[in-house]
Structure 1
Amino acid sequence: MPLSFKLVVCITSTALFDCSTSHEIWLNKGLEAYQEYQQANIEEPLEPGVGFPLVRSLLALNEATGKQLIDVVLVSRNDGESGERVRNSITHHKLPILRMSFTGGTDVTRYLSAWKCDLFLSTEENQVRTVLSTTGSDAFKGIAAGLVVPSINKTASTKFNLPQTSDNNKTTFDNNVSVSSQSHPWPEGQLRIVFDGDGVLFSDEAEIVYQRGGLAALRENEQNKKDISLPQGPMHMFAMKLQEIQKELGNDNRAMLRTFLVTSRDHAVTKRLFHTLTEWKLKIDEKHFVGGLDKTPFLRAIDPAIFFDDSIEHIERARPYVPTAYVIYGSKNNSVAASEIAARETLRMEELD
């Protein structure tokens, strides 16, 4: 009898592990030098990457329930030989990942539908854009995807400053302010996943209205459509799958998985959002409407395994503190390259010197 999982996550080796050193060798010295480096360090386990906490926590749900609810598949453009270090690292970290694709250079997105993938995590921008493109193949329909963004050293003494954005209503907090939840700890082993709203759970319809007409136009649009559900966004099906898993966990293990919505919307534009969630029969455990405030203090209090957002500004603010995945979706991301993150980080490091 074929296996049937409630959720299938496909993740690249560079999203699961910290492959920054070997990746730099591949970029600067070529494939042969990369293969030699991997072979020379084959017994040296790779350190956990940004996607590691999510994968570990998801797989722990299988162990806790004794059910095969979730499958994690490693997908890599390595060939089988170069991938041996990755396989050894999986064994070292005791991750029960059994299924893998080593494509020898072929784009791994070719095989996502064959794996029946629900969520794809990668560190390569073009792969994520391919999956989330509204003009792309129907083969990717229903697959959520996020660009896993490298974290920043949390102990840096200098504040993480962003360039000014076009949103003059945005209020920011000093992210050096402690918002630790140690005094009110979360349940041990709990998996917490945070979604943005527009452009992530929902389509970018509201974002387009806001860009064209500002806050007043958005409020008028949402009031006029308060009884019309928002279109589905790229993470809609993934969120629904998480809800199915919560049901499978039962009362004894229900607290092991908790979902959050942290959105820039305020109370004045929430009616349509609540109507949409009701129509979808989707329950999000916690909802935070921050009304233009910086999301980062809320994210630090939540301390999630992953935070999904379609705004490069929100991602940059959050990534020193929580694992982040950039959802490259919608009109505002058509001309925004994720490489801007690397460029801004280079500038920031120059300022620190």
Structure 2
Amino acid sequence: MGYKIDEKFVVAIASSALFDLSESDKVFQEKGENEYRKYQREHENHVLKKGVAFPLIKRLLSVNIDFPPNEAPVEVVLLSRNDPDTGLRVFKSIQHHNLQISRAVFTTGNNPFIYMDAFNASLFLSANPKDVREAVDLGLPAGCVYPSDYIDDDNDDELRLAFDFDGIIGDDSAEQIYQEHRTIEPYHVHEISNAAIPLPPGPLNRFFREISILQKKVIQRHKDHKEYKSKIRIAIATARNAPAHERVISTLREQEIQVDVAFFLGGIEKRRVVEVFKPHIFFDDQVTHVEGVSRIAP
């Protein structure tokens, strides 16, 4: 019987998001492929520094500790533009950090994300903007991680995820109303009249739903421990405020999802609440919002 990957919560990650590859990338850009290959072989036992998405991946995989090995719900797959030879350093670094990642695709310079569906992945994370744009153009759920000064607390075993709403969980059809009129009043009129109608799914809706299902699995696993506090917390941070907030709730109700925290900010900078919530990843579809947050959170 084959491995049942379709029953897992799967994240696909590029080595550029998991580790800091700035040094080796510089060699490739300045000296070419042959020198890069030589550099990787000479340094394959030098452990790579942690990348922007490392705290997220570490905590996602730690969820499996609470389950028997044959019931582990989380799988992380490495998708890499390296070939197996130059990619060996990445796998050695994975082993050094004791990350339970055993599956990988090495594509020797070609697009790795085209294998997302083969591994049932609900998200692809990379530090390569070109790869992410191409993945999104193909309708695949992908995110580009931005450089960050975030320092992870290894003693904090909670996993916190924060999501923008429009263009992430729901589509951007409501946002387009605002962009069309450039004033808030027509937008509010539209959202009040559609308050009970859930928004169509956005690009990361599946990932959002599956992380919520994973959260419920973990809570169910500890149902006999009354003092247990879930190690997964989910937040929404949206520029919406009342009266436009109701459509967010209608959408969550339809999907039977309860978030732990919701920020209806109405123009207040998202950075202010993200700095307090301290997510291990924050998803937003607008570069200005991402740039405002990325230095303090992945």
Report the TM-score when normalising by structure 1: 0.77
Q: Distance in 2 between matches of 1:78 and 1:91?
A: 18
Secondary structure at 1:118 match in 2: strand
Aligned-residue offset at 1:304: 1.0
CA distance in 2, matches of 1:79, 1:188: 35
Query: Which residue, out of 12, 35, 42, partners 1:33?
Result: 35
Letter in 2 for 1:132: V
Q: Hey, what's the Cα distance between the residues in 2 that align with 1:43 and 1:124? A: 24
- Alignment equivalent of 1:196, drawn from 136, 159, 164: 164
Shift of 1:129: 1.9
Picking from 203, 213, 234, the partner of 1:259 is 234
1:47 corresponding residue in structure 2:
49
Alignment of 1:122-271 (within 5 A): 122-133=126-137, 136=138, 140=139, 143-152=140-149, 188-213=156-181, 214-249=183-218, 250=220, 251=223, 252=225, 255-271=230-246
Task: After superposition, give the CA deviation of every residue in 1:10-58 in whole Å (9 maximum; x if it has no partner).
Answer: 1000110000111121122211111111111111100100010010000
SS at match of 2:117: coil
> Which letter maps to 2:280?
A
Q: CA deviation at 1:130?
A: 2.4
Distance (Å, rounded) in 2 between the aligned partners of 1:309 and 1:219:
21
Per-residue deviation at 1:319?
1.1
Contact kept, 8 Å, 1:6 with 1:244, in 2: the verdict is: no
* Amino acid of the structure 1 residue aligned with 2:202: G
Shift of 1:190: 0.8
Give the alignment's Cα RMSD to 1 decimal: 1.8
Q: Deviations over 1:55-107 (max 9, x none)?
A: 00000000123331010001111111101111110011110101011111121
Q: Residues of 2 paired with 1:64 and 1:150: CA distance?
A: 32
Q: Does 1:112 find its partner at 2:109?
A: no
Tell whether the 8 Å contact from 1:247 to 1:254 is kept in structure 2 after alignment: no
Distance 2:189 2:146 in 1: 35
1:22 to 21, 24, 40: 24
Letter in 1 for 2:271: T
Alpha-carbon offset, residue 3 of structure 1: 2.6
Contact 1:246 1:254 in 2 (8 A): no
State the 4+ residue runs in structure 1 displaced beyond 6 angstroms: none
Code of the residue aligned with 2:246 in structure 1: it is K
Q: CA deviation at 1:153?
A: 7.7
User: Which range moves more in the overlay, 30-39 or 53-62?
Assistant: 30-39
Paired residues, number:
285
Q: Distance in 2 between matches of 1:58 and 1:292?
A: 31
Partner of 1:162: none
Task: Give identity over the alignment, percent.
Answer: 35
**What are the superposed Cα offsets for residues 117-158 of structure 1, whole Å, 9 maximum, x if unpaired?**
11110112222222222xx3xxx5xx521101111488xxxx
SS of the residue corresponding to residue 149 of structure 1 reads: coil
| Contact 1:46 1:86 (C-alpha < 8 Å) held by counterparts | yes
Measured in 2, the distance between the counterparts of 1:300 and 1:125 equals: 25
Measure, in 1, the Cα distance between the counterparts of 2:124 and 2:115: 11
* Aligned-partner Cα distance in 2 for 1:29–1:292: 46
CA distance in 2, matches of 1:84, 1:234: 32
5+ residue gaps, structure 2, are none
- Give the AA of the match of 2:284: D
2:72 match:
68
Cα distance in 2, alignment partners of residues 147 and 296 from structure 1: 18
> 1-side partners of 2:10 and 2:281: how far apart?
16
Distance 2:135 2:230 in 1: 31
